[in-house]
Amino acid sequence: MLKKEIQVEDIKNAIELKLQTLFGRTLKNASKPQLYKAVATALRDDIMKTWAYSKEKSLEENGKQLYYLSMEFLMGRFFHNNLTNLILEEKAEIACNELGIDLEEIREIEPDAGLGNGGLGRLAACFLDSLATLGLSGHGNGIRYEYGLFKQKILDGYQVEMPDSWLEDGNVWEVAKLEEPEMVYFGGIVEKTMENGKLVVWQKNCQCVKAIPYDVPIVGYKSDVVNTLRLWGARAIKPLDMGLFGKGQYVDALAEKELAEVISKVLYPEDNHEEGKYLRLKQQYFFVSASIQSIIRKFKNAGNDIHDLHEKAVIHINDTHPALGIPELMRILIDQEGLGWEEAWDITTKTFAYTNHTTLPEALEKWPEELIKQLLPRIYDIIHEINERFCRKLWDAHPYDWDTIGKMAIISHGEIHMAKLCIVGSFSVNGVAKLHSEILKKDIFRDFYKIYPKKFINVTNGVTHRRFLLRANPDLAKSITKRIGDGWVTDSFQLKKLEDFCQDTTLQEEIYKTRKHNKEELAKYILNKTNIKVDPTSIFDTHIKRLHEYKRQLLNVLHIMYLYNKLLDNPNYTMHPRTFVFAAKAAPGYHKAKLIIKLIHSVADKINNDSTINDQLKVVFLENYRVSLAEKIIPATDISKQISTAGKEASGTGNMKFMLNGALTIGTLDGANIEIKEAVGSDNIFIFGLTAEEIANYTKENNYNPYEIYQRDSELKQVLDQLINGFIEPEHPDVFRELYNDLVYGHGGCIDQYFVLKDFESYCYINAKADEIYKNPKKWWRKSIINIANAGYFSSDRTVEEYNEKVWNLKKYTF
């Protein structure tokens, strides 16, 4: 494809033209949102051309395509990323400057596409960036939620949720394909007849919902491949039921329309927690059915034979949420394509691959049999048959072993176990970090591993280093490129060359200055948002992620209280001043997580307003954590907190983003922290706490006694007592009693489930060690450079390459 190189003048002309044609305005009288839209749509026009060629080429080649099915795509903002990937950043900057437009200011107008809760959704977004950059045809399929993850406000220290109406002002990055809907059917009854020896299945009296695709172009870095993120929106089949309308049942007619369209209304805000809600099940089937129908339509339009599906398409399911894709493909192959069961099952199990993202029992999806039977009768039939056949196979291998068969059955105790359905129906099952994949094999899926040893693999997560380093931390990126060239941008392993410079004091100083500058910028943001003044020369110690007990924000807070007590008790106690930064959303129904947010605020209030400690400690909670906020905080962070209870965090990906930016990690031997430690060496990371094995032993033996620790460790006791003696909240001394009780006495047979007290001492020790090393800049910045140099492995480019080798087998496109 011949593409004319874009010049600054072209950009200027395009922006002015957009202002006129879209808004009837000129530069002089355009509003800021109009300027944002004009610049963004000018850029979009350029993307659309490449997208068109990319699709044409892909059709011609008829090569294998990956479809990544996910309930969540946490994309963040598109504008800046697209500019970077198209190498138009500098030219756009000049063009805007010359037109008198403040590019940085208008970038901030774009709302985040917050169509995800956390790690799983952000991972999907990172994969899309890497797929397009590597020239692989991999497309996302998900839901176009009208409301993304709720906006978080803090009122009096408490989280309040507000709707995230991110589409209110339109979305310049999507193209609605109104003429390419798919129909999705719910409810009704199934009738089966035999005609000429063939099974004919009818679904009668169903509710039909129209799925409209909204396509978003995914631009790779310096790549001619533009992939598609296809998000499905629900529409009522008829805009209004005119029958009802005519009879004067105006309200009923409108209500029915609403009922259909509510499906794509809002993202469920639970992360790592299963909520067996009817509407959630509807969402799952809605987007999965629409996706699979459109995959097959495209496949057949290209003249392919249905028997070759697995050669031309691989469908990856992001956790179990899209698991209904397996019976849905079976339904289409059998009921619509007329295949027999065996044939259909063979194709299906060669087409699906499944990634597990969590071992927490409360996050493993199970659906009541009755619910699926009612809402998706034909899908229920098929799952039932899959289960029957699977159990028969088990019986042949283990006759009379009811225990094993009962444990492994997909349907048991009136529930359908989605992970089991995924394992049986996929050709590949993987965990997201070494430890996690081992836990899958040895623990939660061990029975399945025994019968399918080859299915189970590991693919350690990664993050796009272009968004999170090149773009989020441009000055650091420049320092790196100055030393080792820019090859690292597309070949992350080249970062390794930076290790030669780890002792180089000029580089060390340069990185220090960049960090300081980033901290100054963050300090301004903090002051503006919270009215708290923080010192950019203090250590910025950051704990940003979803609020969950296993992520142990509480351990961090108890340690802050411990430091505060030290400063109060001993005027000679010295430490480098530290600013603790938190940001986290709690699921709206997760009471304890919300209470921990309140505790962070109460402790922050107490400490930040105590002038006797000379600003040695500051505690900040930034509200409404989201991708664009992470991009501001991470480059300004010295210490990255990754302190989950070992064995609980499948991988973590924030840990990788910090490492890329040269922060040092204080972390447990959990998830990908273990591999980060292997990559940088134990001298360059601060590891503390129990191992996953030790935790598993305590749990198994039931011999962990936090009360004894509470009695023995007087400093810890002081901190815990302060939770309930009015020290923090004199007016309401009882607000945190629940947290105290859970740690010290427990409830429902569970005391300190997450081993906060047990890890407290080693956590304090490791923090003191980090403090000491920070005082020696040569040591600190050497470690920082070693972290950056070894972060190449944690790029999602590597992850995607690995999936491609082990699972997808896609061909790389070169134009």
Quick one: angle between helices 756-774 and 777-789, nearest 10? 110
Angstrom CA distances, 140 to 231, 267, 328, 529, 547, stand at 8, 17, 18, 35, 27
Q: Is 123 in the site for ligand 26Q (CB under 6 A)?
A: yes
Integer-rounded Cα Rg, in Å, for the chain is 27
Q: Where are the alpha helices (DSSP H) in 470-626?
A: 474-484, 505-530, 553-569, 591-608
Residue in 90, 105, 191, 275 binding ligand 26Q, rule: CB under 6 A: 275
270 sits near ligand 26Q (criterion: CB under 6 A): yes
Cα distance between residue 337 and residue 199, in whole Å: 11
Start-to-end C-alpha separation, the chain? 7
Nearer to ligand 26Q, 141 or 518 (CB): 141
Q: Is 268 in the site for ligand 26Q (CB under 6 A)?
A: yes
Residue 653 known to be catalytic: yes
Total of chain residues touching ligand 26Q, rule CB under 6 A:
24
Q: CB of residue 748 vs ligand 26Q: minimum separation in angstroms?
A: 23
Out of 357, 548, 578, 594, the active site residue is 357
- Cβ-count burial 213-245 (b if 16+ within 10 Å, e if not): bbbbbbbbbebbbbbbbbbbbbbbeeeebeebe
At position 143, the amino acid (one-letter code) is I
The residue (of 213 and 671) whose beta carbon lies closer to ligand 26Q is 671
545 is catalytic: yes
Contact 256, 208 (CB under 8 A): no
Q: Which of residues 779-808 bind ligand 26Q (CB under 6 A)?
A: none
Per-residue tokens: 627: 């991708």
C-beta of 263 vs 728, nearer to ligand 26Q: 263
Q: Point out which span in 112-120, 342-350, 753-761, 770-778 binds ligand 26Q (CB under 6 A).
A: 112-120
Task: Give me the least distance between CB of 71 and ligand 26Q, in Å please.
Answer: 7
Looking at 91, 151, 230, 357, which residue binds ligand 26Q (CB under 6 A)?
A: 357
Of 44, 378, 466, 545, the active-site residue reads: 545
Of 795, 217, 131, the closest CA to residue 470 belongs to: 795
Tell me, residue by residue from 413 to 442, as one string, x for binding to ligand 26Q by CB under 6 A and - for no binding: -------------------x----------
Catalytic, 546? Answer yes
Per rule CB under 6 A, is residue 365 in the interface with ligand 26Q?
A: yes
Listing DSSP states for 670-718 in one string gives -TTHHHHHHHH-GGGSEE-S--HHHHHHHHHHT---HHHHHHH-HHHHH
Catalytic annotation present for 12: no
**Minimum CB–partner distance for residue 630 and ligand 26Q (Å):** 14
Known catalytic residue: 641?
no
Q: Does residue 603 touch ligand 26Q according to CB under 6 A? A: no
Element (H, E) at 420: helix 418-425
551 labelled catalytic: yes
The single residue among 54, 65, 117, 608 that binds ligand 26Q, judged by CB under 6 A, is 117
Which value, to the nearest 10 degrees, does the dihedral of the CA atoms of residues 382, 387, 392, 395 take?
Answer: 180
Q: Which member of 653, 665, 668, 799 is catalytic?
A: 653
215 is written with which tokens?
């396509």
Q: 766 near 666, Cβ under 8 Å?
A: yes
Letters for 623-662 (x = contact with ligand 26Q by CB under 6 A, - = none) are --------------------------xxxxx---------
Q: Does residue number 118 form part of the binding site for ligand 26Q (CB under 6 A)?
A: yes
3-class SS string, 224-292: CCEEEEEEEEEEECCCCCHHHHHCCCHHHHHHHHHHHHHHHCECCCCCCCCCCCHHHHHHHHHHHHHHH
The span from the CA of 288 to the CA of 322, in Å, is: 6
Rule CB under 6 A: which of 277-296 touch ligand 26Q? 280
- Using the contact rule CB under 6 A, the part of the chain among 104-112, 273-281, 493-501, 526-534 near ligand 26Q is 273-281
Q: Of 90, 156, 149, which Cα lies nearest the Cα of 270?
A: 149
Q: Which stretch binds ligand 26Q (CB under 6 A): 141-149, 272-280, 693-701, 804-812?
A: 272-280
Q: Is 461 in the site for ligand 26Q (CB under 6 A)?
A: yes
Give the C-alpha separation, 5 to 506, whole Å.
37
Complex with ligand 26Q: residue 525 or 550, whichever CB lies closer: 550
Does 271 participate in binding ligand 26Q (rule CB under 6 A)?
A: yes
Among 667, 671, 706, 792, binds ligand 26Q (CB under 6 A): 671
Among 70, 351, 358, 460, binds ligand 26Q (CB under 6 A): 358
- Candidates 274, 381, 541, 759; binder of ligand 26Q (CB under 6 A) is 274
CA dist 227 and 396 (Å) reads 45
Q: Among residues 439, 430, 423, 510, which one has the least CA distance to residue 475?
A: 510
Catalytic residues: 357, 545-546, 551, 653, 657
Chain residues binding ligand 26Q by CB under 6 A are 117-120, 123, 268, 270-272, 274-275, 280, 357-358, 363, 365, 432, 461, 649-653, 671
